[in-house]
Amino acid sequence: MYSSSKAALEHVSRIQALELAEYGIRVNTVKPTVVLTELALKAWDPEKLEVMRQQIPLKKLATTEDVAGVVRWLLSDEAGMITGSAIAVDGGRTMGGCGL
Which residues are part of the catalytic machinery?
Answer: 2
Look up residue 44 and give its DSSP letter.
S
**Which secondary structure element, helix H or strand E, spans residue 32, and what is its range?**
strand 29-32
Q: Which residue, among 22, 10, 17, has the nearest Cα to 87 in the 3D structure?
A: 10
Helices vs. strands in the chain: H and E counts, helices first: 4, 2
Sort 14 into a burial class: Cβ within 10 Å, 0-12 / 13-18 / 19+.
Answer: middle
